[in-house]
Amino acid sequence: MPAPDPATAPDDPVTDARTVLDGSDINRALTRIAHEILERNKGAEGLLVLGIPSRGVDLARRIASRISQTEGVDVPVGSLDITLYRDDLRRQPARGPQHTEVPADGVDGKVVVLVDDVLFSGRTVRAALDALADLGRPDAVRLAVLVDRGHRELPIRADHVGKNLPSARTERVMVRLTETDGHDEVRIAGSWEGDAR
Amino acid sequence: MKKHLLSAADLTVDDVATLFTTAAEMHDVQHREVKKLPALRGRTVINLFFEDSTRTRSSFEIAGKWLSADTINIAGKGSSASKGESLRDTVMTIASMGVDAVVMRHGASGAALQVSQWIDAAVINAGDGTHEHPTQALLDAYTLTRRLGTLEGRHVVLVGDLTHSRVFRSNVLLLATLGARVTVVAPPTLMPAGVETWSKDVGFATSYDLDEVLPTADAVMMLRVQRERMSGGYFPTSREYTVGYGLTRDRLAVLGPDVPICHPGPMNRGLEIAADAADAAQSLVLDQVSAGVAVRMSVLYHLLAGEGGHA
């Protein structure tokens, strides 16, 4: 991983967290991802954008609305909770599942774009694929993430990446979104900072 | 949340909120093509029922199966218990097989608590004598919450055979936790002894006059007249009970069309509840059954899924 840039770090008094994507960076990345999805799919036909709670859902909505603006058609969007499909379910106290919401016509025959904020070990995506299989049989599943920080533990890769962010395993990548946190920002810190992943 | 679910009093407001949020997600699974979640894969749940039950037992069984737990039913009748084995020996035998949870119904009040002290597995009380039936109270409150939004400050009226009702005991405890205003109504012979002090401790009102209470009700829960627990003499005739305490067509008119009606089942139609009331649009009887599966999935999930869940 790169050494902390002295020009930007530390911007947090407690930790050495520094900003790697600001609001306009995130904006541009999501717009690009939306266009990549359209290009790959040759239009918005059959698309279903599913976010993984919690921040993946907000990102999914933003990507879907950008696709809708570009193509002039409504793209269905939903959420896919993976809590019950996690492989570490019994390593921690039971957590309540979050909301899964899939449009009434289901996932069968759709091109599902899974959206998450950070791609790390790949275990979340593995769980999401299992959850999706219980809902039906999509024609194809693609993966879009805001940040790919490496360190995969499973053979999984993203189709659309906002930013590749080389990181050390011990580092924390924190995604802040206006919908949940009041502002848009992606930060990386060398030490633990609360709700990091 | 505690390791066992023995009493509705074990649950805090936060516990109930968590259980209900999870139950709402589990409820959606009922409408899926693949009704299966992997959360309890490899866990074993024993339904140990020493009393007859159709809906509770099948509801726990479905709940366990939809969460991928291995669910096994053992009925008291026809088991070694009927050959004279003691409860302790029966339970210890089952526990030795390596089960993670025992869902238990027994005719003796306090049986579930007793068993929880003997074995390592989580114990869920599915009815112990005339004492408690916490998952029934949970599904009742869940069903009412979905209909009314919140139970805080709402006037919930429970009517019927209170003396023999574990549903009543669990319900008043849970409804008190959720901030509902509760009035229980029964003929003097079916009002439990000592209810005066208990009602003050828990915080609910008692009445012998259903017609006086009904106009202010936000929800009505009719309880079954448990003939199998009665040796007779509690009321002169069925007809007299119905006139005084049944939810008749006339009382249904007093309630109006918006006040939800619950009944834990099985219903004695024509005795405590008229067919008009049981089949009215405001009757939540079938919603209760469907909620029962979701709520029990939620309970099994929270007791068994995490690291504290018994392995």
Query: CA angle at residue A79 from A146 to A53, to 5 degrees?
Result: 55
Give the pLDDT mean for A41-45. Answer: 94
All structural domains of chain A with their residue ranges = 23-167
Structure tokens at A69: 């603006």
Domain covering B136-288 in this structure, CATH number: 3.40.50.1370
C-alpha distance from A120 to closest chain B C-alpha (Å): 23
Q: Say yes or no to pLDDT of B311 above 80.
A: no
Compute the distance between CA of residue A129 and CA of residue A20 in angstroms, rounded to an integer: 29
Q: Say yes or no to pLDDT of B35 above 80.
A: yes
CB contact under 8 A, B306 and A92: yes
CB contact under 8 A, B304 and A94: yes
Give the pLDDT mean for B181-191. Answer: 96
pLDDT value for A15:
60
CB contact under 8 A, A85 and B38: yes
Structure tokens at A16: 């050495």
Q: Determine the straight-line distance between the first and last CA of chain A, rounded to whole angstroms.
A: 18
Distance of CA B302 to the CA centre of its chain: 18
Domain covering A23-167 in this structure, CATH number: 3.40.50.2020
**Which 3 state secondary structure label does DSSP give A183?**
coil
Give B113-131 pLDDT, tens digit per residue.
999 999 999 999 999 999 9
All structural domains of chain B with their residue ranges = 8-133+292-309, 136-288
Distance of CA B104 to the CA centre of its chain: 13
C-alpha distance from B19 to closest chain A C-alpha (Å): 8
pLDDT category, A92, cuts 50, 70, 90? confident
Can you count the helices (H) and strands (E) in chain A? 4, 8
Count contacts between A and B (CB, < 8 Å): 52
Same fold, B8-133+292-309 and B136-288: yes
Nearest CA in chain B to A94: B306
Give A125-174 pLDDT, tens digit per residue.
999 999 999 999 999 999 999 999 999 999 999 999 999 999 999 999 99
Q: Say yes or no to pLDDT of B217 above 50.
A: yes
CB contact under 8 A, A130 and B301: no
When CB atoms are compared, the residue of B25, B28, B305 closest to A89 is B305
pLDDT value for B85:
85
C-alpha distance from A86 to closest chain B C-alpha (Å): 8
Nearest CA in chain A to B310: A90
Percent of chain B with pLDDT over 90: 85
Specify burial of residue B42 (Cβ count, 10 A radius: 0-12, 13-18, 19+). Answer: exposed
CB contact under 8 A, A92 and B39: no
Give B237-263 pLDDT, tens digit per residue.
889 999 999 999 999 999 999 999 999
**Following DSSP, what letter does each residue of B143-157 receive, concatenated?**
HHHHHHS--TT-EEE
CB contact under 8 A, A130 and B33: no
Q: Determine the straight-line distance between the first and last CA of chain B, rounded to whole angstroms.
A: 17
Specify burial of residue B212 (Cβ count, 10 A radius: 0-12, 13-18, 19+). Answer: exposed
The fold of B8-133+292-309 is: Rossmann fold (3.40.50)
